[in-house]
Structure 1
Amino acid sequence: MRPYIIEAFSRRLERQVAHTEAGCDVPVDDRGQRLDTLEELVELGAGDMLPSRRGVLGAGLFAVALTIPERPDVVGRLEAVQAGHARRIGMREVDAVAAMTEKVSELDDQFGGRHARPMAAAFLVNTVAAHLRADASEAVRKALLSATADLLYLTGFMAVDEGAHGLAQRYYLLALKYAGAAEDHLTFCTTLRGMSLQAIDLGHTGQAMRLADSAAAASPAAGPRMRAFLAGQQAHSYAADGARSQALAYIEEAEIAMDKAESRAKAFGSYAPSSLAYHVSQVRYGLGDKAGAIESLKESDRHRDCPGSGAAGFASWGRAPTQ
């Protein structure tokens, strides 16, 4: 009966309605986990796009104990939601999601997440959710899941900037689910890295190290620029925990990988020398070298002013390089 109630409200209001909006309990399995990953997206986005509910969502607690979602569970739940819907989508709809993510990122750069995040949430609820319910080829389906994961990660990143850490964590965990279902290792690793950075900011250095290590382990075949991106975060998290030898080893690994990446490419990627210099600064600061940290920050700024340094767009919200 509950699915029919939700569907009736959604058709009447001409938008996706969450279980909680309709006064229904969210369905869970015998482990207490949600049965509907799409419902989770709708509920989270619906609350974030309404001014009256954003304060409540933003007050959510950051959880130190996390369980990384497993791909088979997510795929099964999404396939169950998709079944029985006649509407069909193609790459045009996927491209629209990717383009919207780019635009939201630009607005975030210009005006901050407080203004851009409600737009992202509304798009997730009113457009992306409908696409996820539609029929599609396997290739389109996986591309849509990947694009959705990207947008969820960006929305979580904006929530971090606003200090809504519990909410950001929920977006990040949902991004992991969709990236895992899409077999999108790039976004999966990027999200774990972002979660590690968030944990550092909140003083949870042990969790930050575990997340940074998980990000590196999830991308065993990473190219040199991606390896620099991940090793830099490992160095940052270990330095924040005071693990000097490991931090220095990881930052050296990042520097070697960056040298390899720069020798192969004519243009900088999204993880550029400015990004590496920033990580060096964080390592120095974490290990007590404040003067060195300042010098590395200045170096980061000098590189950032160079043409093609990757300082704008995706790079501004920690998007991983493609190499």
Structure 2
Amino acid sequence: MSTREPNRHLERLYQQTGWTLRQFVQAVNRIGTERGTPLKYREPSAHQWRRGHLPKETARPLILEALARKLGRPVTHAEAGFPAPASSSHATPSAVEGLIDLGRGDMDPSRRSVLGIGLFSVALTVPNWPDVVGRMEAVQAGGTPRIGMPEVDMVIAMTERISELDDQFGGRHARPMAAAFLVNTVAPYLRADAPESVRKAMMSAASDLCYLTGYMAVDECAHGLAQQYYLKALELAGAAEDYLTYCTTLRGMSVQAVDLGHGREAQRLADAAAASPQAGPRMRAFLAGQQAHAYAQIGGSNTALMYLREAEVAMDRAESRGKAFGSYDPAALNYHISQVRYELGDLPGSIKAMQESDKVRYGVYRRARVRHRAALAERQLEVGHLEAACATWNLALDDYPLVQSGRADQRIRKMLKLIRPHLKNHAARELHERARLVTPS
């Protein structure tokens, strides 16, 4: 690179994309904005990269991600003609050490900026079940006390309490708590001496907690960080031989991808999640509903409707066996019905299903209520029902001050933008003034 020879590797990838130079830099700039570090690259920069000038080290992952998203496959540093990142020469940390590093950085707000937390990667290598099952090092007790099922039960109970806080108040404050619990309590338990059955149960419980922590990172729009937690959850689930939790995590990764508009990746992950042989009817509805949403986003209407019907049938079977508070329920299913109908162009049908979801949602799910009511209002405005939209947004604002959530913040900021052209309307003007008082600058 020092001789300024053309970067033939990058040139080959560039030609495969079919982009113009302007489209190339626009894609890189968009990902920079997504990560929270806006960029202003112009065509001459891309021309220089092709001529052999090495991009800044901080820009290289963004260039690789832009190429990966366009080409639909992972792109490595070497494939793009870039030197390997300095960190690649370090020894891969053990599973527990990696978990500690991840959680320690997350529990300290002053360090979060160095984690690259904002960048979602479609090029992420997701391990298959045979690659992770039973493959976590058996770390023996080095002065760490022996543990039993009471410690496992405590981790499960703490995860449930943190999940309840997340549902009611959002993940902004609950996630550092979860990260601290992972580092200070769960990681030592994973290193403790225990019978094999207890070790597997503890790894399964730790996997659930990693999945929840990743979900809370998604809620704060820290998508790259969320993926790292999800990968740890997959690794721990495999070590525990807990295929159900492994599939639940894949499904969560699909939800993240579809919400960011990466339909193909969402579909791949949803299909992989649906392979769980242990799924009862409620879990089957949980998995099929996500498959329906992913296929709808990529235009597979027939397949989407097939999976939606499968989810509805499974939910009917699950509900006939009794309510299961805290799991996939009719409100979640109606949300999926709404999303599928919206993706397939049935806007009135999506509004009706979202209204039904709101009607049957349990009151403790405050964060979901804010987000989904805001989404409902956006669709009501889209069909021209301004005053109905204002009424629904006002309902969302009833709960919004109690919720600390990046995704909820995004919805309210979007509302302020959407309502601005309608300020001559009395209801819109009152909503706008009310929202300004409770929205962070």
What's the CA shift for 1:100? 1.4
Question: Which protein has the larger Cα radius of gyration, Structure 1 or Structure 2?
Answer: 2
Alpha-carbon distance in structure 2 between the residues aligned to 1:269 and 1:172: 20
CA contact (8 A) 1:262 1:268 kept: no
**CA 1:295–1:68 in 2, change beyond 3 Å: closer, same or farther?**
same
* TM value normalised by structure 2: 0.60
Unaligned runs of 5+ in 1: 1-23, 29-33, 314-323
- After superposition, the C-alpha distances for 1:47-85 in whole angstroms (9 at most, x for unaligned) are 001111112225352221233335665744431x33655
- Describe how 1:222-241 pairs up with structure 2 within 5 A: 222-241=279-298
Give 2:274's aligned residue: 216
Question: For 2:217, which of 159, 162, 166 is the aligned residue?
Answer: 159
Alpha-carbon distance in structure 1 between the residues aligned to 2:183 and 2:212: 15
Give 2:104's aligned residue: 46
Say how many residue pairs are matched: 281
Alpha-carbon distance in structure 2 between the residues aligned to 1:297 and 1:266: 21
- Describe how 1:188-227 pairs up with structure 2 within 5 A: 188-217=246-275, 219-227=276-284
Question: For 1:258, which of 288, 308, 315 is the aligned residue?
Answer: 315
Alpha-carbon distance in structure 2 between the residues aligned to 1:139 and 1:168: 29
AA aligned to 1:78 is: E
Say whether residues 1:288 and 2:376 are aligned partners: no
**CA 1:163–1:58 in 2, change beyond 3 Å: closer, same or farther?**
farther
Question: For 1:96, which of 137, 154, 170 is the aligned residue?
Answer: 154
* TM value normalised by structure 1: 0.80
Alpha-carbon distance in structure 2 between the residues aligned to 1:245 and 1:165: 30
- After superposition, the C-alpha distances for 1:183-202 in whole angstroms (9 at most, x for unaligned) are 22221111111100100111
CA contact (8 A) 2:132 2:238 kept: no
Alpha-carbon distance in structure 1 between the residues aligned to 2:113 and 2:361: 35
What's the CA shift for 1:25? 8.8
CA contact (8 A) 1:90 1:136 kept: yes
AA aligned to 1:240 is: Q
CA contact (8 A) 1:85 1:135 kept: no
- After superposition, the C-alpha distances for 1:254-297 in whole angstroms (9 at most, x for unaligned) are 11111222223365671111111111001001101111101001
**CA 1:56–1:35 in 2, change beyond 3 Å: closer, same or farther?**
closer
Say whether residues 1:174 and 2:224 are aligned partners: no
CA contact (8 A) 1:72 1:181 kept: no
Alpha-carbon distance in structure 2 between the residues aligned to 1:26 and 1:113: 34
Alpha-carbon distance in structure 1 between the residues aligned to 2:267 and 2:114: 30
Identity %: 66
What's the CA shift for 1:87? 2.5
Alpha-carbon distance in structure 2 between the residues aligned to 1:299 and 1:154: 26
Say whether residues 1:249 and 2:306 are aligned partners: yes
- After superposition, the C-alpha distances for 1:162-200 in whole angstroms (9 at most, x for unaligned) are 000000000011101111111222211111111001001
AA aligned to 2:111 is: R
CA contact (8 A) 1:273 1:300 kept: yes
Alpha-carbon distance in structure 1 between the residues aligned to 2:157 and 2:341: 37
- Describe how 1:65-144 pairs up with structure 2 within 5 A: 65-69=123-127, 70=129, 75-79=134-138, 81-82=139-140, 87-144=145-202
Greater Cα offset, 34-43 or 263-272: 263-272
AA aligned to 2:259 is: D
Alpha-carbon distance in structure 1 between the residues aligned to 2:98 and 2:300: 38
CA contact (8 A) 1:82 1:132 kept: no
Alpha-carbon distance in structure 2 between the residues aligned to 1:164 and 1:101: 20
Give 2:357's aligned residue: 300
- After superposition, the C-alpha distances for 1:81-106 in whole angstroms (9 at most, x for unaligned) are 33655621111111121121122112
- Aligned CA-pair RMSD: 2.5
CA contact (8 A) 1:153 1:171 kept: yes
Alpha-carbon distance in structure 1 between the residues aligned to 2:168 and 2:100: 27
Alpha-carbon distance in structure 2 between the residues aligned to 1:275 and 1:154: 17
**CA 1:150–1:292 in 2, change beyond 3 Å: closer, same or farther?**
same
Say whether residues 1:36 and 2:94 are aligned partners: yes
